[in-house]
Structures are given as C-alpha cells and as structure tokens.
Amino acid sequence: MAPKLFGTDGVRGTANSYPMTAEMALRLGAAAGRHFRRDGSSGHRVVIGKDTRLSGYMLETALTAGLTSTGMNVLLLGPVPTPAVGFLTRSMRADLGIMISASHNAHQDNGIKFFGPDGFKLSDADEAAIEDIVAGEIVAAQPANIGRARRIDDAGGRYVEYAKTTLPRGREFGGLKVVLDCANGAAHRVAPQLLWELGAEVIPIGVSPNGTNINLQCGSTWPRACAAKVLETGADLGITLDGDADRVILIDERGQIADGDQIMALFARRWAEAQILRDGVLVATVMSNLGLERFLEGHDLRLERTPVGDRHVVERMRQGGWNLGGEQSGHIVMTDYATTGDGLLAALQFLAAMVETDRPASSLARCFEPVPQVLRNLRYAPGVDLLSRQEVQKVIEDAKTRLAGRGRLLIRKSGTEPLVRVMAECEDEGLMTEIVDGIIAEMEAVA
C-alpha cells in the first residue's frame, strides 16, 4: 500500500525525492484536474502561485503539464503569498487554486497546497478523491480539449489592492518606520510595496531571494535578524513573515518579540470592544499558551482549542461561524478578510491599532504574561515510531502524573516534517525543563 500523500497542509517533502518529484507533481496536477473537471466541459481554470524556492520552477511546470493534459486552463501567478492564492482563486472565478511552497521550511523542502473554488483549503474528502485518482489510471483529455496556460503579470498588484481594502478608508501609516523581513520568500515584492503605498517608511530585509536562501537566518523563524534591525534603525515596529507569508511575528520598538498568541490576544480584545468578535470566541490550537486562555477569560471571552495546524483552526471557525483564530507560530486567520492565515493582513491590523490608539508597539504587543513554556523537537528516521515504544510511553505517563494540576504536556508528531514535538507548560520552570529533558532523552535512547 502506497504511503498517504496528503499531510496536515497539502503534500510536502524534500525536493526531487518522493513525493516532491516532477513525476508526482504531474500526476497530482492531472488528478486534481480530472477531479475538478468532472462534468467534462471546457472553460475550467486553475491558478498556481509559488514562493521563491529553486524547485518551484520544476514543480510549477510539472503541475501545469498535468493540469492542461486533463483540460484545465492554467493561470500562473508567479511568486505570491499563500493567502493571495486563496483570494485570487475566488477573484478570478477559478475552480482550483494551487500554492507551491513549504512555508517556513528550508529551501530543500517544497510542498503543494490546494484551494477549492471558495478560496479555502480542500476538504479531507476532496484530498482523498485526488489521492485515489493518482493511484489509478488518469484519463487524459481529447486533443481538442487540452488546456492552455498563461501568466498573470499583475497578480501581486491585485492582492496589494485588495489588502488595502481591509483597512478603514483613508487609514495610512505616515510617520511610522517599519522594518519588514520577507524571509527571501513569496512576499519579497508585494509586502514592501503595500506598506510603502500606505505611507510607512519601509526598511526591507530578506528581499533578495536566490532560490536557496528562503527562511535562511531570516523571517518569522529567525526573528532576531529583524529585532536587531529595529534597534539599529530606531524603527517603530518590526514585521517578520515566513516563506509564503501566511504567518507573522512582530517586534516592538524595544526589540521584544510578540508571537501569534499576543497578536491574537490584542485583536480579540479590540474586536470584542468593537462588538465584531463573533460570540466572543477566539479559535487557537492546543499549542497556544495557557496565559492566552486566562487573558481571554478575564475579558469574558472564550478560547476554543483545536489540533495543531491552521487548517484545523479554519475548519473549526467555519463550523462555529467565528471570525478570529490562529496559531502561536504566527498564523492569524481573519475570515472577514481572508480564507487562510495572512501575515500581511495581520500586520496591517496591528499597525492600524498603533495609529488609532497612538500607542507604541510595546504597549500593544504584550497583552498577557505567558505561562513558562518549553518546546523541543526531535528528528527521527523514516519508518521509526518513537511514540509507540513502551519505554517512551512510560516516561510520558510518569511526566503527566508529575504535572497533574500544575501544567500541561503535549507530545505530537509534526505533520510537515519528521519531528516529534514535546511541549510543556508549568509555573515551576525547573520541573518543566526536567520533564521535557527526560522525555527527549528517553526517545533519543531508543531511536
């Protein structure tokens, strides 16, 4: 039985290795085209965006070949943020949207994410249907029905214009100095342009992609680069995006980092005061800090937790009819404006809060005191299931007993990398560190 293709966020892996090969991309494109062209009629279209990884050229070409072979017309957007693909899928009346990106991962990885005609990521049922078609024989289109491909030169500009509409009319950021780290990724053009058009003085870093430097000591997974630049230039705010710009981490004027939990806390409070936070609910994952939950309770708001992954957050938001959610890692989902996490739109909302309150970033970006939290990752070899080992299970159960009533313990496999993530929260930092170190040591011993 072939391994499952789709993970928690599309198909992902090392470029030129299964499943991120040109051959598999061609089959995925053909299978998606066959699935979304069920009625056999012409005129179906798909938009494809990508980030700046070298392997994006290979995968884009292979996907295009597969899609056109089943009669889909392909609109190539070039490098654009993931949320721009969600937006343009709807705006351009496409049947399907595809983003080629491995998000915050290093350049050697890549991924393929699919969006439905509504701009939201595909359902489990659609992904399973595509995977079934990949495993079988894919029926090609008749010669007269082969699709066409064309490049859309103004895709980034369309997204920039839309992003500005998410702010109140006339809202500008004149007088604000902003360091903007684009992670040498998908937003390296649109993000500086957007902030400049809104009047900010922009100091860009991470805007020189070469195919292999995406997320390399820059961006939301390496915020120290932005923090150093903020202090060096006396900027009012630092904005750090990841490789596909669906996450953001902020840096205040003192060089202090504000993660997704702090950003969500600010937005939840402000939206509740403005009576636009639906049902007083914020949706976040099990990774969000206990301090966020306590902050919300103190404002008569509620935290709805989901499994890790912005896809799970969005699904729960849609089920409950709620409009704000996200992840500690910086995915901020505002379904009034976007169908997925959008780092740029979240940054605009934060800048708007600075202007409207006339307060510095440091007074807005620290809404609560986090409960001490530690997260450690352990990489494992393919085929190894560390969490099923009896020795590991015993040390985990002992740890839960020691933490009972004093904190939280969360252990899970990453859905995008061969990692086991061990996270603990506890007011007693010594106990917390001892517990996590013990679990990691046991897993290393049996790996």
Active site residue 362: no
Q: Please tell me the distance from the alpha carbon of residue 175 to that of residue 279, in angstroms, as a whole number.
A: 36
| Vertex 187: Cα angle to 241 and 162 (nearest 5) | 105
| List 55, 69, 101, 103, catalytic entry | 103
Virtual torsion, Cα 255, 256, 260, 264, nearest 10 deg: -110
C-alpha distances in angstroms, 314 versus 5, 157, 244, 326?
A: 21, 26, 18, 8
Place of tokens 């929260």: 425
Place of tokens 């894919």: 138
Residue 301 near residue 281, CB atoms below 8 Å: yes
For residue 330, give every residue at least 6 positions away whose Cβ sits within 8 Å of its Cβ, in sequence order, or none: 220, 242, 247, 248, 249, 259, 260, 263, 341, 343, 346
Q: Please tell me the distance from the alpha carbon of residue 289 to that of residue 276, in angstroms, as a whole number.
A: 24
What is the β-pairing status of strands 45-50 and 73-79? parallel
Q: Please tell me the distance from the alpha carbon of residue 82 to that of residue 311, in angstroms, as a whole number.
A: 13
Starting at the edge strand that comes first in sequence, how are the strands of the sheet with 177-181 ordered?
201-205, 177-181, 237-241, 248-251, 257-258
What is the β-pairing status of strands 302-306 and 281-285? parallel
For residue 128, the tally of other CB atoms under 10 A from its CB is: 14
Q: Which helix (H) or strand (E) holds 85?
A: helix 82-91
For 283-315, b/e burial (b = at least 16 CB within 10 A) is bbbebbbbbbbebbeeeebebbebebbbbbbbb
Active site residues: 103
